[in-house]
Structure 1
Amino acid sequence: MFDQRSFDCRHDWGIRGAREAAKRGDITVIVDVLSFSSTVVAALHNGAVIYPYPLHEDGKMYAQSIGATCLPGRSEAAKLGVPTLSPVSFAREHRERRFVLSSLNGAHCAWIAKQVPKLVIGSLLNAAAVARYCNKLQEEINRPITVVSCGERWDDAREDENNMRPAIEDALGAGAILKGLVGSKSPEAQVCMASFNGCRSELSELVTSCGSGQELIARGYEDDIAFCAQFNTTNVVPVLHPGGAYFENGLRDN
């Protein structure tokens, strides 16, 4: 059976990876560079309160129950003048406002793993800060760390197919975080680290040129990619509040 149990720091993929990390009780880092993770980081940097929820339609009812706004998709948000699943859509005017943010990948993985001892949101933007936070946390509670690359989904997957599409931007983000973690690394984690180390000087170009980046460019969201490809620009570390309700900053931003 597939297992990375003998290592302190692990890497896994998608909803199944998040579920397995939750079953083990690992400290779990969710990485969805384009764009859930980067958007949560940007929202908290601007003082907003983010509640993750996996499905948008159900999220509307959930938002009403907690007095929050359920954020729409990018095209609808632009018409309404509200933020969305885009990191550049958040600003200081959204400070202390409550938002429910849904996505098929990052938010879904966070929801699946919400009962872990600590659930952290990682990206290229805050990789070093996340690693520092998790190293300290591991010392305090003595639990392994699993970094989950969320990946994307095939739009036209057949019923007999796994619809998850591995995303290199998430692997690079995971590698950047794993690089800063203390402890033994699984082979899966080592491969992510090696990928990041080998591509460190080309992060922006690779995130722009990869399949997920090209998909966003085709939809007119070049600014999202430029923002998400930035490396270590903030100390914001989104940590899921006990009870799985909302994210709070585990570290004070500089």
Structure 2
Amino acid sequence: MTASPFDQSRYQLRFDWGRNGLQRLAPADVVVVVDVLRFSSTVSARVAGGETVPHDESAHAVSRNGAAVASAAAGTGAVVFLGCLRNATAVAHAVLAEQNRRGARTSVSIIAAGELAGEGDAAVLRFSVEDQLGAGAVFAALETLGLDHSSPEAAAASEAFRGLRSAVRHLLTASGSGQELLARDRRAEVLAAAVHDADDVVPVLRDGVWSAYEVSAG
């Protein structure tokens, strides 16, 4: 099969948006799903607190998009992590540990969930600044660890985070998704999602459950 110019298969680190983006990219060994407000951040905090979180429960509670991306990623046979601002460096270390466990160069697709506007078949994917920054934070952490064979799309996300890192809290609260949650009296959740590297564990999806990634379990 001829490679698509959009599958980013030449690169170790790849970046795209939503379920269509996951399908567009070449198959990867590891998929990191980023849905900052609120799926990734909520599940990350719960797993960091010692919980295991059933995927169906987490999906119905906080996401109709990020959870769908995670389900699709699991169907590819990839190791599926949840990434966000809260656990960006921990995700990078988990990816490196997975590569070391495999003993081979490991391809990584980071999928920003984005926001679904509208309902049913009429729903369209909307860019979300919080997911761009969350994905960029993970890419930046991976590059710090020496995993830096990045696609142009991944490199741009990384530099967006590096350049805007000091403004992340403001950008999340001022974003459309942040404003929507503030209007629902969920300001505390937005602020919690904006904290960089608050969690030192990484949710991994296995057998329909999110639990803390451990190298020995890989």
Instruction: Tell whether the structures are fold-level matches, with TM greater than 0.5.
Output: yes
Which of the numbers 97, 105, 108 marks the counterpart of 1:145?
108
For residue 50 of structure 2, what is the aligned residue in structure 1?
Answer: 47
Deviation at 1:7, TM superposition (A): 0.5
Contact 1:18 1:110 in 2 (8 A): no
For residue 190 of structure 1, what is the aligned residue in structure 2?
Answer: 155
Letter in 1 for 2:83: G
Deviation at 1:189, TM superposition (A): 0.2
Deviation at 1:20, TM superposition (A): 4.4
Secondary structure in 1 matching 2:197 = coil
Contact 1:31 1:150 in 2 (8 A): yes
Deviation at 1:19, TM superposition (A): 3.6
For residue 124 of structure 2, what is the aligned residue in structure 1?
Answer: 163
Structure 2 gap ranges (5+): none
Distance 2:52 2:141 in 1: 27
Distance 1:42 1:30 in 2: 15
For residue 30 of structure 2, what is the aligned residue in structure 1?
Answer: 27
For residues 83-141 of structure 1, give each alpha carbon's deviation from its aligned partner in whole angstroms, at most 9, with x where no partner exists.
x43xxxxxxxxxxxxxxxxx211111111111333100101000001011102212333
Contact 2:86 2:199 in 1 (8 A): yes
Distance 1:169 1:210 in 2: 8
Q: RMSD value over aligned CA atoms?
A: 2.2
Distance 1:109 1:146 in 2: 12
Contact 2:28 2:109 in 1 (8 A): no
For residue 18 of structure 1, what is the aligned residue in structure 2?
Answer: 22
Which of the numbers 176, 190, 205 marks the counterpart of 1:225?
190
Secondary structure in 2 matching 1:177 = helix
Distance 2:58 2:166 in 1: 34
Whether 2:89 is the aligned partner of 1:124: answer no
**Structure 1 residues 224, 140: CA separation in 2 closer, same or farther (over 3 Å shift)?**
same
Q: TM-score, structure 2 length as denominator?
A: 0.86
Distance 2:214 2:129 in 1: 27
Secondary structure in 2 matching 1:113 = helix
Structure 1 gap ranges (5+): 54-69, 74-83, 86-102
Deviation at 1:224, TM superposition (A): 0.7
Letter in 2 for 1:195: A
Contact 2:44 2:202 in 1 (8 A): yes
Secondary structure in 2 matching 1:239 = strand
For residues 174-229 of structure 1, give each alpha carbon's deviation from its aligned partner in whole angstroms, at most 9, with x where no partner exists.
00000122130000001101110110001100011011100111111111101101
Deviation at 1:71, TM superposition (A): 6.7
Deviation at 1:47, TM superposition (A): 2.3
For residue 7 of structure 2, what is the aligned residue in structure 1?
Answer: 3
Distance 1:18 1:168 in 2: 19
Output aligned runs, 1:33-112, within 5 Å. Answer: 33-53=36-56, 70=57, 84-85=61-62, 103-112=63-72
Distance 1:206 1:217 in 2: 13
Deviation at 1:37, TM superposition (A): 0.3
Deviation at 1:238, TM superposition (A): 0.5
Distance 2:46 2:96 in 1: 24
For residues 14-62 of structure 1, give each alpha carbon's deviation from its aligned partner in whole angstroms, at most 9, with x where no partner exists.
11123445x6143100000000001111111222221223xxxxxxxxx
Q: TM-score, structure 1 length as denominator?
A: 0.74
Q: Which has the larger radius of gyration?
A: 1
For residue 113 of structure 1, what is the aligned residue in structure 2?
Answer: 73
